[in-house]
Amino acid sequence: MRSDAAIYAPPVQRQRRRRGRQPKKGRRLPTPRQLAARRKKGWRKIQVRMRGKVVWRLVLPIICLWYHVSKERPVKLLIVRDPEGQEKDDFLFCTDPQVSDEQIVERFAGRWPIEEAIRDGKQLGGFEQVQGWCPRTVQRQAPMALIVQTLVKAWYLLHGAQATAAHPRGAEKWEWMPPKEHPSYLDMLATLRRVLWTHRIKCNSTLAGRVLSLLEPLRFTLCAAA
């Protein structure tokens, strides 16, 4: 929800004896940004899973009408705040007021892996580099790129993490790379390439030791760039 959205309280039903139709919306409420700044009571601390970690968040649920978008249908506005103050407040909404606060926050956070998968499919899987003009060719390219990505991730979880060639970028072996906690899809793809190349390509035993020491960093770089 926009931080400056126009929201209203639920309508109060008039008595039957009064003339005129029943109101469709109640009084105008402050904007979500103003509510987050003014409200001191009603906040609740919850524990949710976001980006692969279990974190604490402060939430403020408000049942209201977002009349411009959902008309007379009540929605649940959920203001999410980082207790440590490192992240900006999020203003989420759900068309089902019965959904728990934890589910709303985790569902919103779950959008990020989907966006990462689409980005990796475009940059590394040929998602948007269709080599054809036929409608069926275009329609097959996108799902095929995502299927290959799924297979690579499944292989890495089952076998790649224990492979001898599994050295994610940022590991101690590659001192020039920044450290990281979890491997990216590029790391998984590069690991699969290194495993395949190790079994297919045999190094010449007559090469000097100094040249042999350069082969592994060269293979590492080529696998990530291929």
Q: First-to-last CA distance in the chain?
A: 41
Cβ–Cβ under 8 Å, residues 13 and 22: yes
Q: What average pLDDT does this structure show over 180-191?
A: 82
Residue 150: the pLDDT is 93
Residue 148: pLDDT band with limits 50, 70, 90: very high
- Report how far residue 144's alpha carbon sits from residue 134's, in angstroms, rounded to the nearest whole number: 16
Task: Answer yes or no: is 207 within a domain.
Answer: yes
Residues 101, 41 share a domain: yes
Provide the domain limits for residue 79: 32-109
Q: The tokens of 223 are what?
A: 């696998």
Q: What average pLDDT does this structure show over 152-163?
A: 84
pLDDT tens by residue, 76-127: 999 999 999 899 999 999 999 999 999 999 999 999 889 999 999 888 888 8
Residue 6: the pLDDT is 94
Mean pLDDT score of the chain: 83
Residue 165: the pLDDT is 55
Determine the distance from the C-alpha atom of residue 180 to the mean position of all C-alpha atoms in its chain, rounded to a whole number: 17
The pLDDT of residue 221 is above 90: no
Q: What average pLDDT does this structure show over 183-193?
A: 85
- Report how far residue 142's alpha carbon sits from residue 76's, in angstroms, rounded to the nearest whole number: 35
Task: Answer yes or no: is 168 within a domain.
Answer: yes
pLDDT tens by residue, 51-60: 878 999 999 9
Task: Answer yes or no: is 102 within a domain.
Answer: yes
Residues facing 28 on adjacent strands:
8
Residues 105, 37 share a domain: yes
Q: Where are the beta strands (DSSP E) in the chain?
A: 44-50, 53-65, 74-81, 90-94
Residue 11 neighbours by CB under 8 Å, 6+ apart: 22, 23, 24, 25, 26, 65, 72
C-alpha distances in Å from residue 41, one per residue of 15, 44, 59, 74, 160: 32, 9, 11, 22, 50
Residues 104, 164 share a domain: no
The pLDDT of residue 23 is above 60: yes
What's the total number of domains in the chain? 2
Residue 131: the pLDDT is 76
Q: What average pLDDT does this structure show over 189-201?
A: 79
pTM: 0.68
* 52-56, 132-136, 217-221: range with lowest mean pLDDT: 217-221
Task: Answer yes or no: is 146 within a domain.
Answer: no
